[in-house]
A and B are shown apart, each in its own frame.
Chain A
């Protein structure tokens, strides 16, 4: 079936089985490789992207539900060279190690900050439930608090 949505602000139409996970459409048909495959069962968060601003685990999100919606991936989080506050904070705190899980964490964090602009440690524990095997959680927590500050300062 034909499915139309916007991807990082640009229109896209794909002709594919509607049950295909959005992850594979984004990675293999639209060639945006920043969204990662980790488990395929909504259990790790590596594939997190935004659908209409909500964080979604795209490995378990049939593409047909994206019809008419706005899909944003890590490639669309920054505006040109201007990094998103979350990315700025991540860079300042030097969070990534292997880096594989990081786009998913940054997308989950960016979505959380839209709802909870100034999260407490508890908010972070409850909302950021992706898995990082390099265990960069300590720096991530610092980066999340910093991102909230940068975002607030930007207005």
Chain B
């Protein structure tokens, strides 16, 4: 993929769209609104709400482009990380614009187009956020095309019919491209009434992914596939020890290595620019670095640092009274989860060109606007001169929210006067990730005389997830009080328990931690739902009935009830082990999307194996049911991987392992041979689908293992023996 490294001009013929998008001033609220009501609404936002799209390019929007061969290009403010987002967008646009899905091309918008997402591609929110705006924009555009066509065809727009990108009236036809070929006045008609979703041809159907063929024939669509003319290659040295900084370096041997163009020492890192990537790597290995290591962190010192009772305390949920610590009937269990790595297969990297005061960077990023700001700031160049081109992502999972490598690549290009492509080694990926923070949980509860939970409390400690991240800057900390990312899944979802609360303890860790697919949901649900299961056993009740009895009558609670009942029915759930096999049950609700899972687990020679998973998921309107199911399958196996395999460890101040294999992940052989997914439409809007199904899996596995072995496993990853 060879790209012109000049920012593209904005003068391409485009549809201009006005308005239509709600912008909420989430980040513009300011810190002075330090009030509880705001905090509460932040919690609800983290828990249940779909945040509206907030980006630039909403006033005089430049989203659509018509090509001469009658295709529509949608410039998307969101990127495609693998969730099928572009396909969902194409379905929505095709239905309201009356074109065939094959006529739609979706491209990630470059910042130079003017469309810059204010937040990120993340939270599995893309389709949910843009469903309504895209319908409205496409419908408005269809009316505009009709008006223009009517003038050319000499008919009344009211008599024009539209289908497959063609206007027809009174025996005459005209392609959309022809109708708008020389339009200069892009003032738009009012948005017409939208069609009922039930009448859509594409939305709601299992349409094949529009990027399928490209991904099957190996087209160069990813960030690391990008090239620029006369490009050089770079490798970078970053700190290996947690909290360390660069003292001095001996680069003399490296300078003599073949192919080396320049060695660049910057604040805290050293770049090696060479003619090829293998040459850059070989030279990098010859550099001797002296590090300043103020403290040697170990797993023990980390656990001592991060635990309940330490750091900032915030009550994130409070109903009824607190448990009395001296009450002898209170049962309590302690849980932990480890540091998790993103381990996406495409390493980070960027191709950058700095020339004549203009910058172009091509990379896999979830935060194109943030990347643009960071590069502009680091180089002292006006933002308008910095074009960021986002590609398809070889996996996101939250890892592409941190794109300081775009800055590194741009600074190196500036130094050598040529485009530079910088690629992370796998060791850099593992040691310099912004990790899923480790967590510590204490869950406490008390049964009443009828064997129902009278009290349930979740106390949890976590490092930064949303706090101090690029999309929630530190100014937000004081406003939020707690980390809304760490809180995901941390509150109790069973409204009918008379006394329930959740208490968060927060600390910033000595290494970077951030968003990891589903944020706090996986570990929080593991703790709460394992405990609930234990209480059901103690009460001598079926874990399904036990849960159902704790749900209230509100609409939201009914939707949770439904997934629990369905999962029990579809899986023929039984809480009795048979030999070395048993079923495990768990449920969670995340971003307003409830999910229940039943796993069938076997234990042979202390090896835990997930044989089958039944998943019932209320995802609202499934724009593409096949891809929602794919997200469930992927989340379930990624959740198995996190629950039974993955773990980063601090040893002598460094994070290990630094390579796949030792960083144990679920492979083909660890994946269940049966995954049975059932979708429920509990509300008529699309909900986030890429993360909620990660919730129940860990607890469900633990609950099955408890029934086979009698052991309650409380630490992730779960290990027997």
CA distance A128 to B671 in the complex (A): 12
- As a 0/1 sequence over residues 119 to 131 of chain A, the CB contacts with chain B under 8 angstroms (1 = contact) are 0010011101111
Within 8 A of B (CB), among A5-63: 17, 20-21, 24, 28, 33-41, 43-44, 46
Q: A103-B218, A136-B633, A136-B634 are in contact. Are A131 and B675 (CB under 8 A)?
A: no
User: B218 — nearest CB in chain A belongs to which residue?
Assistant: A34
Residues of B within 8 A of A78 (CB): 217
A131 touches B665 (CB 8 A): yes
Q: A100-B222, A141-B668 are in contact. Are A94 and B82 (CB under 8 A)?
A: no
Residues of B within 8 A of A46 (CB): 345
Query: In the complex, what's the smallest C-beta–C-beta distance from A95 to chain B, in angstroms?
Result: 8
B425 touches A28 (CB 8 A): no
Residues of A within 8 A of B627 (CB): 94
CA distance A125 to B668 in the complex (A): 6
Indicate the size class of the contact surface on chain B.
35 or more
Task: Decide if A114 is an interface residue (CB 8 Å cutoff).
Answer: no
A94 touches B208 (CB 8 A): yes
B633 touches A138 (CB 8 A): yes
A94 touches B630 (CB 8 A): yes
Q: A91-B213, A135-B637 are in contact. Are A40 and B220 (CB under 8 A)?
A: no
CA distance A139 to B671 in the complex (A): 10
Residues of A within 8 A of B258 (CB): 17
Contact of A36 among B394, B425, B669 (CB under 8 A): B394
Interface of A is mostly: loop
Query: In the complex, what's the smallest C-beta–C-beta distance from A61 to chain B, in angstroms?
Result: 13
CA distance A133 to B517 in the complex (A): 11
User: A128 — nearest CB in chain B belongs to which residue?
Assistant: B668
Residues of B within 8 A of A141 (CB): 668, 671, 673
Residues of B within 8 A of A34 (CB): 217-220
Q: A96-B215, A102-B215 are in contact. Are A37 and B630 (CB under 8 A)?
A: no
Task: Decide if A132 is an interface residue (CB 8 Å cutoff).
Answer: yes
Residues of A within 8 A of B423 (CB): 37
B216 touches A138 (CB 8 A): no
CA distance A20 to B344 in the complex (A): 25
Task: Decide if B667 is an interface residue (CB 8 Å cutoff).
Answer: yes
User: B209 — nearest CB in chain A belongs to which residue?
Assistant: A94
CA distance A148 to B630 in the complex (A): 22
Task: Decide if A134 is an interface residue (CB 8 Å cutoff).
Answer: yes
Q: A39-B659, A134-B82, A141-B668 are in contact. Are A75 and B345 (CB under 8 A)?
A: no
B216 touches A96 (CB 8 A): yes
Residues of B within 8 A of A21 (CB): 278
Task: Decide if A98 is an interface residue (CB 8 Å cutoff).
Answer: yes
Within 8 A of A (CB), among B664-721: 665-669, 671-673, 675
CA distance A141 to B667 in the complex (A): 11
Task: Decide if B397 is an interface residue (CB 8 Å cutoff).
Answer: yes
Most chain A beta-carbon neighbours within 10 Å: one of B220, B626, B636: B220
Task: Decide if A110 is an interface residue (CB 8 Å cutoff).
Answer: no
Residues of A within 8 A of B673 (CB): 121, 138, 141
Query: In the complex, what's the smallest C-beta–C-beta distance from B387 to chain A, in angstroms?
Result: 22
User: B275 — nearest CB in chain A belongs to which residue?
Assistant: A28
A90 touches B216 (CB 8 A): yes
Task: Decide if A99 is an interface residue (CB 8 Å cutoff).
Answer: yes
A97 touches B668 (CB 8 A): no
B218 touches A135 (CB 8 A): no
User: B430 — nearest CB in chain A belongs to which residue?
Assistant: A39
Task: Decide if A83 is an interface residue (CB 8 Å cutoff).
Answer: yes
User: A99 — nearest CB in chain B belongs to which residue?
Assistant: B215
B215 touches A138 (CB 8 A): no
CA distance A136 to B392 in the complex (A): 17
User: A98 — nearest CB in chain B belongs to which residue?
Assistant: B82
B660 touches A44 (CB 8 A): yes
CA distance A100 to B395 in the complex (A): 7
Residues of A within 8 A of B628 (CB): none
Task: Decide if B212 is an interface residue (CB 8 Å cutoff).
Answer: yes
CA distance A88 to B425 in the complex (A): 33
Residues of A within 8 A of B1 (CB): 33
Residues of A within 8 A of B224 (CB): 36-37
Query: In the complex, what's the smallest C-beta–C-beta distance from B515 to chain A, in angstroms?
Result: 15
- As a 0/1 sequence over residues 369 to 412 of chain B, the CB contacts with chain A under 8 angstroms (1 = contact) are 00000000000000000000000111111000000000000000
Task: Decide if A71 is an interface residue (CB 8 Å cutoff).
Answer: no
CA distance A90 to B208 in the complex (A): 12
Which 6 A/B pairs are nearest by Cβ-Cβ distance? Answer: A34-B218, A100-B394, A98-B82, A99-B215, A135-B637, A97-B82
Known A125-B669, A129-B667; 10 more pairs at CB < 8 Å: A20-B276, A39-B426, A87-B217, A98-B344, A99-B82, A102-B216, A124-B668, A132-B345, A139-B630, A140-B668
Interface residues of B (CB under 8 A from A): 1, 81-84, 208-209, 211-222, 224-225, 233, 258, 276-278, 342-347, 392-397, 423, 425-426, 626-627, 630, 633-638, 641, 659-661, 665-669, 671-673, 675
16 pairs from A and B in contact (CB 8 Å cutoff): A20-B278, A37-B347, A43-B426, A46-B345, A96-B212, A97-B82, A99-B214, A99-B394, A100-B346, A124-B668, A125-B668, A129-B669, A133-B395, A133-B665, A137-B668, A141-B673
